[in-house]
Structure 1
């Protein structure tokens, strides 16, 4: 009888733990100072400017102790510790004081909801995910896209921008004014920007470059069916 009671208690405990993992869990962490954010995986990351550096985690299908929020130098890395996971839903709400770059790999989505001002800003995207940004004001912008990923910037202006694309991923920023633009691309991904002062292009494949304004043409090398045209 005592043995049966113990077995029943263990079974209840196991099922109880399983229910906790399946239910949505939340936790708030204070990681320390960072200026860049890297996310790798299929989760959603939402960044907002604030007067503190904080992360609120919403997790379902995984224990919170498996959720990684680590700082390496000035980079905040969010995701899961190494392991095998199924049916995991993760959402990170990140509050930052200062932002100088974002990077996303995998199929996740990252959104910067606040306007960003920076001297230099970097956007890196690989896989099939998206990065969506509010307005950006910067002296220099470097953006790199590989795979079928997509970068969207709602508006703003930068003095100089270098955009590198490979695959079918698009760079969509039709309201972003750029003083000097350098594009290097291969594949079918499109590049859409706003008013330009000057443009230089190296392109192979079928991806188009669409712009506004009357820019000076620098070095232009195009092969394949790619086109450069005014909106």
Structure 2
């Protein structure tokens, strides 16, 4: 009985020490080479702002400090945790802190996976921007002014982007992701959606090309398009806003509504699907 009691006390003390270590936050500035891309993983919170001078700092729980890797390779800032101890499990990180504060002068690519949260504190102005998110990554508060945008979202990502300028917008969205692309003002917009995604599009575009399948819900009735080529299949639902030319194929129990009174319509609608013009 005494042995069990002693063991319980020891385990409780170890838990307190572990919790205390997790609650001790270490702040560091990291000196890194010049970069134009960010690649983050391992559940980090990445807070980005644009400024005149590049900088990187981190806030991490003390027990994670020796595993935190912040380095630049080939112009890409990598942020991740290195598991140097086989007995350590990243499953026990719910009470830990790992934040990276990144100031960029020029950002051309963002890549993130593994539960990363990315938040912008300032608008971003750049030439072309490529975004590749997967594995439950969140992207918040990005107000973007760019020439061309190319985004890939998969594996249950949540992303919200507001455009203050973009000539071309392209997005490939899959795997149950929830993506909002707002205030688009582009010559051309391409959207590919599959695998149960929820998508919201607003703004204006000269040309919209849209392919939706696999139970997706595409709300594009807030995106005014002069010309639209669209295909809905596999129980996908959607709303469109087209003012001039509409070329649309609807099949596989898909339901689509379209407003805007386009003058030139080419359509193919299967028996199990519906297209409603409003």
- Report if TM-score (shorter chain) is over 0.5: yes
Gaps of 5+ in 2: 1-15, 242-278
TM-score, length-normalised on structure 1? 0.84
- State the Cα deviation string for residues 12-71 of structure 1 (Å, max 9, x = none): xxx999965651111111212011111102121101112222111111152423210111
Matched, 1:169 2:170: no
2:216 counterpart of 1:215: no
Structure 1: distance between partners of 2:21 and 2:125: 41
**Are the counterparts in 1 of residues 119 and 141 from structure 2 also a CA contact under 8 Å?**
yes
CA contact (8 A) 1:205 1:224 kept: yes
- In the other structure, the counterpart of 1:44 is 45
Deviation at 1:164, TM superposition (A): 0.5
1:95 corresponds to: 103
**Structure 1 position 198, deviation (Å):** 1.2
Which residue matches 2:76? 75
Q: How many residues are matched?
A: 217
3-state DSSP class of the match of 2:66? Answer: helix
Counterpart check, 1:159 vs 2:160:
no
Matched residue SS, 1:65: helix
Residues of 1 paired with 2:60 and 2:192: CA distance? 38
Off by >6 Å, runs of 4+ in structure 1? 15-18
Q: Which of 184, 190, 199 is equivalent to 1:191?
A: 199
The answer (yes or no) to whether the contact 1:31–1:53 under 8 Å persists in 2 is no
- Superposed CA RMSD in Å reads 2.3
CA distance in 2, matches of 1:214, 1:149: 26
Distance 1:137 1:18 in 2: 43
| Partner of residue 131, structure 2 | 123
CA shift for structure 1 position 89: 2.0
Please report the TM-score for the alignment, with normalisation by the length of structure 2.
0.71
| Aligned-partner SS, 2:147 | strand
**Bigger RCO (CA 8 Å, 6+ sep):** 1
Contact conserved, 2:184 with 2:223, CA < 8 A, in 1?
Answer: no
Q: CA deviation at 1:178?
A: 2.9
Secondary structure of the residue that 2:63 maps to in structure 1? Answer: coil
Which structure has the larger Rg over C-alpha atoms? 2
Deviation at 1:180, TM superposition (A): 0.9
- Most deviating of 101-110 and 172-181: 172-181
Matched, 1:229 2:239: yes
The answer on whether the counterparts of 1:177 and 1:193 sit within 8 Å (CA) in structure 2 is: no
SS at match of 1:62: helix
- Equivalent of residue 122 in structure 2, options 98, 114, 131: 114
- Whether contact under 8 Å (2:54, 2:102) holds in the other structure is yes
